[in-house]
Amino acid sequence: MSKNFASDVLRRAQRIVVKVGSSLVTNEGRGLDEAAIGEWCRQLAALSRQGREVIMVSSGAIAEGMKRLGWATRPHEIHELQAAAAVGQMGLAQMYESKLRENGLRSAQVLLTHADLADRERYLNARSTLLTLLKLGVLPVINENDTVVNDEIKFGDNDTLGALVANLVEADALVILTDQRGLYTADPRNHPEAEFVSEARAGDPALEAMAGGAGSAIGRGGMLTKILAARRAAGSGASTVIAWGREADVLTRLVAGEAIGTLLVAQTAKQQARKQWMADHLQLRGAVTIDDGAVQKLLQEGKSLLPIGMTAVEGEFSRGDVIAIRDARGLEVARGLANYASAEARLLCRKPSSEFETLLGYTAEPEMVHRDNLVRTR
């Protein structure tokens, strides 16, 4: 891969997820690092002024709670971890809100669990909320909902959550800020001869062999979780940068094209990855039949599928399922993600969006399948 291409990955990124770890946020557990958080928020505001959409995934609630409760070591009891998260989340949210506001940005707190992103309905609801916040110019600050969910505390990590969020919003890039410069061929703390890896292919099995264990007593992640997160993010076409969070102007320099940290490049373009995933579905839960006018809109003009162009609905499917889109002769012309379940879709056939609320009691989206979630098959 050429150096020019590598530098363009972040420079061209319009939607970026930034993840920062507990040891950085809490200054190795000594409490929220106001100066560091203020610096990241200043840089986030600079990215926003450039017209980029940014989401922050921040660890630190449990570590901040430990500090406020006077605990020197991370507890093992789930209920104590939950209590620490509840205490620490208050300060964490307040700090981000204050520092982002100082830089002219509105913010929103979003607490997620892996379960939210595994359930189809909750996944789509989370996606809609985050995309709406971005459209409104609000910067979402996301943390794992450690207060009420025990398996995420025990096994989860915010590197994985950062990658899942990147998949959720179809980000162009994931930036993982950590207390290491990036990836080395071995743990540099134990192997002084280890070489720095400036660039590699996300998902390369050799990377996992290089990664060590958990990085600190405060956080739960390590370089391995970051490697695996990069592989997950690459599945939706997002490249990942792993960089030292205290590097001066790290975010603004990255988007300016400067090579900082380790760049793990996704091999598939964002849109191509998403559409390939839909095209590869062998079993579809249902289908909609559309009139000739709608076929023209989809195939010739690249438009979304509106319910007013639908004439029939087949099968039983839920919101978020991949469905076939067929012409009047029964030939599949496209497929995509349904914004409405089959029972609702039947009510919406031949209806304009102005009637959706009367028919359903609510309006989710005006389209049955948005053009961003649609792939042509003919």
Answer yes or no: is 275 within a domain: no
Q: b or e along 145-173 (b: 16 or more beta carbons within 10 Å of the residue's beta carbon)?
A: bbbebeebbeebbbbbbbbbbbbbbbbbb
Length of the chain: 378
249 shares its domain with 341: no
351 shares its domain with 287: yes
Mean pLDDT by 10 residues, the chain (378 residues): 61 96 84 94 97 95 89 87 91 96 97 75 86 96 77 60 90 94 85 90 86 47 85 90 96 95 86 66 86 96 96 95 94 94 97 95 92 87
CATH number at residue 56: 3.40.1160.10
Answer yes or no: is 325 within a domain: yes
294 shares its domain with 243: no
149 shares its domain with 196: yes
Answer yes or no: is 12 within a domain: yes
Q: Cα(13)–Cα(281) distance, rounded to whole angstroms?
A: 28
Number of domains forming the structure of the chain:
2
Residue 170 CA neighbour count, 13 Å, CB half: 14
3-state secondary structure 303-370: CCECHHHEEEEEECCCCCCEEEEECCCCCEEEEEECCCCHHHHHHHCCCCHHHHHHHHCCCCCCCCEC
189 shares its domain with 231: yes
Q: b or e along 323-344 (b: 16 or more beta carbons within 10 Å of the residue's beta carbon)?
A: bbbbbeeeeebbbbbbbbbbeb
256 shares its domain with 176: yes
Tokens of 206: 């050799």
Q: Cα(323)–Cα(346) distance, rounded to whole angstroms?
A: 14
221 shares its domain with 336: no
Answer yes or no: is 159 within a domain: yes
pTM tops 0.85: no
72 shares its domain with 168: yes
257 shares its domain with 334: no
What is the domain range of residue 15?
3-270
Answer yes or no: is 245 within a domain: yes
How many angstroms separate the Cα of 101 from the Cα of each of 31, 40, 107, 136?
21, 13, 8, 15
Q: Which of 270, 291, 323 is the last residue of a domain?
A: 270
Q: pLDDT value at position 1?
A: 46
Dihedral sign computed on CA atoms, order 131, 132, 135, 141: negative
144 shares its domain with 257: yes
Q: pLDDT value at position 158?
A: 83
Q: pLDDT value at position 107?
A: 97
Neighbours of 123 (CB within 10 A): 18
Answer yes or no: is 276 within a domain: no
Answer yes or no: is 145 within a domain: yes
Q: Which of 245, 270, 295 is the last residue of a domain?
A: 270
Q: Cα(236)–Cα(239) distance, rounded to whole angstroms?
A: 9
CATH number at residue 348: 2.30.130.10
Q: Which of 219, 251, 270 is the last residue of a domain?
A: 270
72 shares its domain with 219: yes
204 shares its domain with 59: yes
Tokens of 11: 């420079």
Tokens 């300016």 belong to residue:
256
Answer yes or no: is 162 within a domain: yes
